[in-house]
Each structure stands twice: as structure tokens, then as C-alpha cells.
Structure 1
Amino acid sequence: MKTHYDVAVIGAGPIGSYTAYQLVDKGFDVCLIDAKQNIGKNVICTGVISKEAFRRYDLPSESILSRIDSFVFISPQGQRLEYIHPDVFAYVVSREIFDRALLALAQKCGADVYLHQQIITIEHSSQYYRLRSKDKKYRARAVVLATGVNYGLHTSLGLSTPPGFLYGSQVELPSSSPNQSSRIEIHISQSFAPGSFGWVVPISNDHSRFGVIVEKAATLGLERMLKERLHFSSSRFDKMRIKQKPIAYGPIERSVRDKILAVGEAAGQVKTTTGGGIFYGLLCSEIAVDKLQRTLKSGYSLKDYEITWRTALVPELDIGRRMRESAQSLSDNTIEKLFKFVKQHRFWVELLVPRINFDYHSNFLFYCLNSFESFLKK
């Protein structure tokens, strides 16, 4: 078994696999290591990825379950604000197919893949890093942590962890609105998603993913949304099928040390608005590979990775946090007033629509915050 590599990528999720693929494509010897045996299985993720991300990164189309061309915001009392795009702007994917396709791409390109191998320690010598699992050892000139929400190695390596976490809870069920397979519903109410939202995302003509993202009690929030908002009886869903996971909320303070870097959710590169991490992770994977190439070939410091990705994303992450903080203080009654305001001011909507971007939210959010600042103080 080969044990010496240019780069060891830990974590064979989509960001780790895509990073490994890019590195091999640039001529480096790469190993891709993951603690799991079955990649993509039982992943808790809504799976909504922009059409632009699919185009830009040539993502696996075989993973697409549904195509999205509209979304509707629904207020606590049922007011609706709908946006219909002229074309499909996002896809909903099977994460199992998506993750395995990217893993297969990395492996086909030449990455050595080691599954069911949890890295226990990483030690640094003058020339390389020594990585050890329970029964195997590896050596690499550089290490990429693409471990998602698992931060077990960070502290020992001198990297930090996210400043906080949100919690997402989700379940797949027969649709509450059959034959609406191209529209996402975004449900807003402080009763089940304080300062946040719930969703109904179609995966077929008759099944959807139902979920909420909140600071705590996500499973309870989802149960309330299903019963109180969508009027599901207890017999329509099994509580045991509801799954919950933590989501990094904010970037880690330090994502680079020597020739080790973190990418994706392992670095907190996750939208603070929706909790989505695929696009930001792929974007930062590109940055990471570019900087690793310069480091391994010419000896440049990896610190430029930290500077570059923060310049690209921190403004987006900061405005998302600001929006969530503002939303925490809203009552359902105030939310109803906001919906009414938007419905009565079409000129405002006409100015808003050009600012809508699925992957970059800051322009849209700045406009909303500035528009509503005085209104919310009434």
C-alpha cells in the first residue's frame, strides 16, 4: 500500500472529494481518507444547489431529483409572497448520489481513496505530516481538513472551531402540496422557527423534504411546523424519522497552520442565512487548491488562503448574522406587517428583484435591512 503523498485530504464529502479531484488534476499525488464506509448515506441536507454552481463546477447531473423555478414566503397567518423566475435557478439533489459521484470522480482521476479509516493523530516533522488511523499510517507534505461539522482534529492542530452552531432538523414525507415539484415553500413564524424559517422542498411530484433551521430545539420546531402550520396529524409522520444535525454558524478564526488548511464546513464556510455549504465550500476549495499548488511547487506560505477566502465570504457571512439577529426580535404580528408592506409597495419589489442571487445574499439583505430599519422601530 502506498503511504507517501503530496496531499492528504481528510473527509470524502463533496468538498473533500472535489478538492482531491482538483489536486490530482494538477499533478499531485493525493490520498482521500474518510472515517465512513458508505459515503453519502444518511446525510442530513436539504440538497438545494444553484444552477450556477452546477454549471461552474460541472457537478453530477445524475444526482438531480427536482428543478426549482419559484419560491414562496408564507407568513404566520398565511400571507404569501411568491417569486417566479423565468427559468430554473436551482436543483434539489440526492446527496447519496451527489457525494458518491464526486468521490468516483476523484478516484477515477487518480486519488487513492481509503474509507473506514478515522484519522486519530496528525504529527508534523520537518518534511511531512504523519497521519495515523487505528491500523494505518500515511505521510503527506500538506493536509486538507474537509471534515464537515466534525472538529475533533482542529484543536490539536492549532486550528479553531466555529463561534457557534445552528441546528437543522428534517424529514422526507408525502407532499402537503402535490404537483408543486418546482416550488420551494419558506414558512416563517416565531412559534416554530424563532428568528429563522422552515421549508418544504420538493424532491418529486408527491414527496418533499420538510425542515427547520434554528438555534435550538430543531426537532420540536419541525414537529410544530408539521402540526400547526401544515396540519399534519401525528399519524402522518413518525417522530423517529426526523433527523437533526448541527450546522457551523460563522467562520473559524484560524483555518491555516503551516501546511494544513481547513475547507468547507470544517472552516465554517457556510451560509449564515440558510445553512447551505456546498457552493461556499466549492468556491473555497478552488482557492485552497490554487494556494496549495503555489505552496508545494514554489514554497509560498498558505496564509494567503486565509486572506483570500475571508475577503470573498466574510461580508456575506456578516450580513447573514446581522439579519438573523434582527429577525430574533420580531413578533409574528410585526412579520405580518412586513408582509403587508411588501404586498402594498410594488415599486419596492421592483427594486428588490434584481438583487436576488441564490448564492450571494448580501445585496438583497442590505436592501431589506435598510428599507425596514425605520419601519421596524414603529
Structure 2
Amino acid sequence: MEYYKHDVIVIGAGPVGSYTAFLLARKGINVGLFEKNETIGENVNCSGIISKECYDRFSLPERSVIRPVKKIKAYSPSGNYIQYNSEYPLAYIVDRSSFDKEINKRANNSGVTTYLGSKVKYIGNTQKSFCIRVVSKNSEEEFNSRVGIIATGFEFNNLFLNRTKFKDFLFGVQTEVDFENNDNVEVFLGKNIAPGSFSWVIPSVKGYAKIGMLVKSRPVDCLKNFLNSHLISPRVKSWDGVMKCSPVPIKPIQKTYYERTLIVGEAAGQVKATTGGGIYFGLICAEIAAQTVINSFKNNNFTEEYLKVYENKWKKILSTELKAGLILRNIFSKLSDRQIDKLLDLAKRDGIMPIIKNSGFDWHKEIIYYMINHLMPKNIFKS
């Protein structure tokens, strides 16, 4: 008879992994949560922007909020800009270390066992169990469970039996600088700034800002060039030179379920191709994954065929949104600076603001289709 130390093993104690573990544990399921770092929220590379809609839907920790976002300003390569102002918060800028810790605390308070400093070196599954091999400071140990949930982020690509590989990804690179006081979230577009993508300036704790970008290649060089550019260098008071850089998937993996196994969040590529943001969509998928596993225990059925419902459900909610984002990214990456200037100028004059307001901070499909069908045909491609 197979011995299971935990009913479910969750790999990765970021927000998505901890939240999935929390949902399972509060239903009485014995969950082991494995995190490679010694401290929750360590070495996180994230802008820290989470929408108000996401915060409200999942009752996320208010004590982690640094400030609300009410203004967003997007600059074209020529220096023109389009600005969106809201009377109410669109999103919140959070302390990601604190945020991750708070969600993990909820999981632990619900009965989850969190293993810190426990790096998973191997993941396997059979008809009888989900198995991992874990290396910690002083030992190497194997754990079996009835079900496994992979929420590691991008790195799982090298763990799960080489079954799934990311082919579409960008590099997210970011630093924090002593910065001239600024309440706006700023976005900068242009081939000489972030080729095929965009860069950002996000106010953090008082007197500091996170400055970063998503790019296909040379992330460190691109960010250094941006920091030294006339666009922001006059406002940078000091910088310690420390950068964080990590790959960000922009397309879902081919399959997110296997025998006794589900893949959730960034590990599954459930990330917005437009911004690289993954927390909201990851938490939506965490809910679906948790409910799928809860039902599998009720029916004592952990087969691949049974767990397929997880993928069917999350794709029904997110698939068209993710595809629309990828279409826009593919188009945008081919635009010249002059075409980007034209696009922002048209957006400024062509009534896109009400559509932005009605679409919400996270749901970009309607904005994307409006741009493709109404703005881009208007001489954008005549450079």
C-alpha cells in the first residue's frame, strides 16, 4: 500500500502556490507546500502592481499595499503621451515580499505544512502517486502524495520530465532607484527604449521607484540604456546598480494536466502577453485547480482524463483574453517608432478612453480588438 505523507503536494510558495494550498487545506485536505528559498517572498522580480478587481475578488492583504494607482501615463517614442486618470484606484502597488508572506500565512493558519529551503530536484507521477525528490540543507528526501500541483513559475520547465517547454517568453528586468517624487505609473514605448515591448516607472515607497522593462534579448543592456537616457536620467537621484532579471512566459504551455498532476500560474503560462502580469489570472486558475482536486478526492479519481476538466475550465475563462494579448504583442513588436507615435496619437483622439474604463485593468481583449479594428487600419502601417 502506498504511503502518503500529504494528500497533496504543492511546489512553489508564491501567491498562486500558497493560495492553492490554502483553498485545499481549508477543506480538510492535508497539504505540503515546498519552497526553494529560505524565506517567503525572497528574490521576487515583480513590478508589484495588482488590480483593485483582483484585490477585491480574492480579499488580498491590505497591509501589503504601498499606494493606490489612479494615473497611468504612456509616452510615445517622440515624447508625446496619453494619460488615463481615475477618480478611484485602478490598482494597488504592493510590497511583494510582504504580500507573499501574508498569503502564505493564510495557508499555514489553515493547516498547510510549508517546507522552506526545500528545492525540488525531480518531479514524477505514476498511476499510484505523485512523487518529488527534495534537497534541503542537510538531506535529500522523497515525498509521495495523491496529487501534485506545480506552481513554481518558469523554472518548472526543467523539472517535469521534459514534457513541456516554453517557446515564447520575454525577459523581465527591473531595478529600484532613488527617484524624484512621482505619483504616476509611467510607460515608455519605442525601439530604442524596449525593442518590441515597453518599459515602466512605478512609484514605490516614498522617494523610490521601480524601473524596468520586458524585452526579448539583452535585458540588462536595455535597462542600463533606459536609465541613462534623457527620458528619466534627470529624475534618478541615485542607483546601487542591482538588477533583477527573470524569464516571463507570454503563451500558455500546451498541456496543464497529467496523471495526478496539475500545473498552475506562471508555470502554466497563464500570464498576460501584453504586460507579463500573472497574479490575477494565476489566482483564478488556482481556484479552478483547487476545486478540481477537491472533486477528485470526493470521487477518488486522480486520472489524467478526470483532471482534464481543470484545463477546460480555465481556458473557457482566459483563452480568448490570452490569445488577444499575444496577437497584439506580435503586431506591436513589428511597429516602427513612427507607427507607434501614430497609434498613440490616434488613441488619444479616437475615443479609446471609455473602452479602457469599461474593460477594467486586467481584461484587455476589448481594447485590443478596438485597436486592431479601428485604430491600426487608419494609416498606421504607412511609415
Shorter-chain TM-score category? over 0.9
2:74 & 2:189 partners in 1: Cα distance? 7
Please name the residue that 2:345 is paired with: 340
Please name the residue that 1:161 is paired with: 165
Are the aligned partners of 1:40 and 1:100 in contact in 2 as well (CA < 8 Å)?
Answer: yes
1:292-319 C-alpha deviation (Å, 9 max, x unpaired): 1111211451001111112221211111
2:122 & 2:201 partners in 1: Cα distance? 41
Are the aligned partners of 1:146 and 1:264 in contact in 2 as well (CA < 8 Å)?
Answer: yes
After superposition, the Cα gap between the structure-2 partners of 1:237 and 1:205, relative to the gap in structure 1 and judged at 3 Å, is: closer
1:129-161 C-alpha deviation (Å, 9 max, x unpaired): 2322232232210000011111255541x6413
Whichever residue aligns with residue 16 of structure 1, its letter is: G
- 364-373 or 253-262: which moved more? 364-373
Partner-residue secondary structure (3-state), 1:195: coil
Please name the residue that 2:359 is paired with: 356
Partner-residue secondary structure (3-state), 1:342: helix
2:142 & 2:353 partners in 1: Cα distance? 59
1:200-228 C-alpha deviation (Å, 9 max, x unpaired): 11113421101111111122222222222
What is the RMSD of the two structures over their aligned residues, measured on CA atoms?
2.1
1:37 & 1:130 partners in 2: Cα distance? 22
Partner-residue secondary structure (3-state), 1:151: helix
- 291-300 or 231-240: which moved more? 231-240
Q: CA deviation at 1:78?
A: 1.5
1:323-342 C-alpha deviation (Å, 9 max, x unpaired): 11111222212222223333
Identical positions, percent: 33
1:123 & 1:26 partners in 2: Cα distance? 26
Partner-residue secondary structure (3-state), 1:119: strand
Q: CA deviation at 1:255?
A: 1.0
- 244-253 or 331-340: which moved more? 331-340
Q: CA deviation at 1:3?
A: 5.7
1:326 corresponds to which of 321, 324, 331 = 331
After superposition, the Cα gap between the structure-2 partners of 1:64 and 1:258, relative to the gap in structure 1 and judged at 3 Å, is: same
1:68-110 C-alpha deviation (Å, 9 max, x unpaired): 1110111112112111112012111111101111111111110
Please name the residue that 1:366 is paired with: 369
2:117 & 2:176 partners in 1: Cα distance? 28
Please name the residue that 2:14 is paired with: 13
Aligned residues: 371
1:124 & 1:194 partners in 2: Cα distance? 41
1:305 corresponds to which of 287, 307, 310 = 310
TM-score after normalising by structure 2: 0.91
- 4-13 or 354-363: which moved more? 354-363
After superposition, the Cα gap between the structure-2 partners of 1:126 and 1:190, relative to the gap in structure 1 and judged at 3 Å, is: closer
- 360-369 or 231-240: which moved more? 231-240
1:343-369 C-alpha deviation (Å, 9 max, x unpaired): 344xx2355344432111111111111
1:226-265 C-alpha deviation (Å, 9 max, x unpaired): 2224342799555731221110120000111011011000
After superposition, the Cα gap between the structure-2 partners of 1:75 and 1:28, relative to the gap in structure 1 and judged at 3 Å, is: same
Superposed, 1:111-130 pairs within 5 Å as 111-130=112-131
Q: CA deviation at 1:42?
A: 2.0
Are the aligned partners of 2:14 and 2:100 in contact in 1 as well (CA < 8 Å)?
Answer: yes
2:280 & 2:235 partners in 1: Cα distance? 36
After superposition, the Cα gap between the structure-2 partners of 1:83 and 1:234, relative to the gap in structure 1 and judged at 3 Å, is: closer
Are the aligned partners of 2:130 and 2:147 in contact in 1 as well (CA < 8 Å)?
Answer: yes
After superposition, the Cα gap between the structure-2 partners of 1:196 and 1:19, relative to the gap in structure 1 and judged at 3 Å, is: same
Whichever residue aligns with residue 121 of structure 2, its letter is: I
1:254-280 C-alpha deviation (Å, 9 max, x unpaired): 111011011000101111110011001
Please name the residue that 2:177 is paired with: 173
Are the aligned partners of 1:154 and 1:160 in contact in 2 as well (CA < 8 Å)?
Answer: no
TM-score after normalising by structure 1: 0.92
Whichever residue aligns with residue 198 of structure 1, its letter is: S
Are the aligned partners of 1:39 and 1:100 in contact in 2 as well (CA < 8 Å)?
Answer: yes
Are the aligned partners of 1:162 and 1:267 in contact in 2 as well (CA < 8 Å)?
Answer: no
1:244 & 1:189 partners in 2: Cα distance? 20
2:372 & 2:131 partners in 1: Cα distance? 49
- Could you tell me which runs of 5 or more consecutive residues in structure 1 were left unpaired when the two chains were aligned: none
